[in-house]
C-alpha cells in the first residue's frame, strides 16, 4: 500500500474524475476526505469507498467560500490529526464563445477554477509546513497549456493554476512539500459524455484529433495523481504531466 497512514483531501470528489482519484488513493491505503459541496453525493461516494475496504470521510466544502474551507480543514485536523495530501480537483466550466459569455459566468469560472484551489491550498499549508511534509496536486487542463475553443476564461484559469503551482513549488520545497499538476485532455466523465450526447457532431472530430482515438478514462487521470502523491515522485516538483492520449505534446 503506497499511501498507508496518509490523509488526503480531494476536492470535488463526489463524482467524475475526483471520485476516481478518491477511490484510487483509498485503494492504496490513504484515508480520503471526500470534500464536495454536494453532501449527499459525498456521503454516497464515501460509503462506496468503505464498502470496497477503504477509508473515507465525507466533508462539505464549497471551495469558493474561504470561511467554509477553513472550517472543513479544521474538522479534518480534529478527526485525523494531519493533512498529508491535497488534490485540487473541483472545477466547472460553461462551454461557449467568449463573445457570448457574460461577466457573471467569468466570475463563477474564476472563483471555482482559480481562486478556489488557491483558497484550499492556503488552508492546508500551515499543517504541512509544521509536519515538514506535503504533496499538493492540482488538476489543470491541457486547455491551460494550448487553449481550447469555447473555454477562454477556463483556459486562462488553468494556465494560472499551472503558474501558481510552479511558483508555490519553489516557495515550499524547503519544507519537503511538492507541488505538481496533472493536466487532463478530454475525459469521459458523466458531465462530458452528457454534453457530447447533446452535441453529437463534436464527438468524432474530437476523437480524431487525439492520436489514441478515444477519450481518457477517469481512472487514467487518477493513476497520474497517485504517482505524484507517492514516494516515487518525492524528487519531482513544479511539473505538469499531460494525460491526453497524445493530443498535446508540449
**Partners of residue 62 on adjacent β-strands:** none
* Nearest CA-CA partner of 210 in 150, 144, 142, 153: 142
* Nearest CA-CA partner of 135 in 227, 218, 43: 227
Between CA 69 and CA 62 the distance in angstroms is 7
Q: Is 114 a catalytic residue?
A: no
Between CA 122 and CA 18 the distance in angstroms is 20
What is the grid cell recorded at 183?
493536466
Between CA 79 and CA 236 the distance in angstroms is 30
**Partners of residue 86 on adjacent β-strands:** 9, 136
Q: Which residue has the cell 507517492?
A: 230
Between CA 116 and CA 126 the distance in angstroms is 17
- H/E run at residue 241: strand 240-243
Between CA 28 and CA 54 the distance in angstroms is 8
Q: Tell me whether residue 116 is exposed, middle or buried, using C-beta atoms within 10 angstroms of its C-beta: 0 to 12, 13 to 18, 19 or more.
A: buried
Point out the catalytic residue in the list 114, 154, 175, 235.
Answer: 154
**Residues designated as active site:** 154
Amino acid at each position: 500500500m503506497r499511501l498507508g497512514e496518509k490523509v488526503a483531501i480531494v476536492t470535488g470528489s463526489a463524482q467524475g474524475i475526483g471520485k476516481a482519484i478518491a477511490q484510487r488513493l483509498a485503494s492504496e491505503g490513504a484515508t480520503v476526505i471526500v470534500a464536495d459541496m454536494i453532501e449527499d453525493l459525498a456521503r454516497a461516494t464515501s460509503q462506496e469507498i468503505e464498502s470496497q475496504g477503504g477509508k473515507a470521510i465525507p466533508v462539505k466544502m464549497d471551495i469558493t467560500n474561504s470561511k467554509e474551507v477553513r472550517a472543513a480543514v479544521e474538522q479534518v485536523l480534529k478527526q485525523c490529526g494531519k493533512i498529508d495530501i491535497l488534490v485540487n480537483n473541483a472545477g466547472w466550466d460553461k462551454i461557449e464563445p467568449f463573445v457570448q459569455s457574460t461577466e457573471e459566468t467569468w466570475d463563477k469560472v474564476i472563483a471555482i477554477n482559480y481562486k478556489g484551489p488557491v483558497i484550499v491550498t492556503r488552508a492546508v499549508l500551515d499543517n504541512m509546513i509544521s509536519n515538514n511534509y506535503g504533496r499538493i496536486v492540482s488538476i489543470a487542463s491541457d486547455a491551460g497549456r494550448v487553449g481550447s475553443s469555447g473555454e477562454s476564461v477556463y483556459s486562462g484559469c488553468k494556465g494560472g493554476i499551472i503558474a501558481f503551482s510552479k511558483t508555490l513549488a519553489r516557495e515550499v520545497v524547503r519544507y519537503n512539500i511538492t507541488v505538481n499538476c496533472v493536466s487532463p485532455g478530454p475525459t469521459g466523465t458523466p458531465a462530458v459524455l452528457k454534453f457530447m450526447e447533446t452535441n453529437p457532431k463534436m464527438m468524432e472530430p474530437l476523437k480524431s484529433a487525439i492520436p489514441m482515438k478515444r477519450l481518457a478514462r477517469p481512472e487514467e487521470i487518477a493513476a497520474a495523481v497517485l504517482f505524484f502523491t507517492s514516494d516515487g515522485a518525492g524528487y519531482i516538483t513544479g511539473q505538469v504531466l499531460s494525460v491526453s492520449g497524445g493530443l498535446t505534446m508540449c
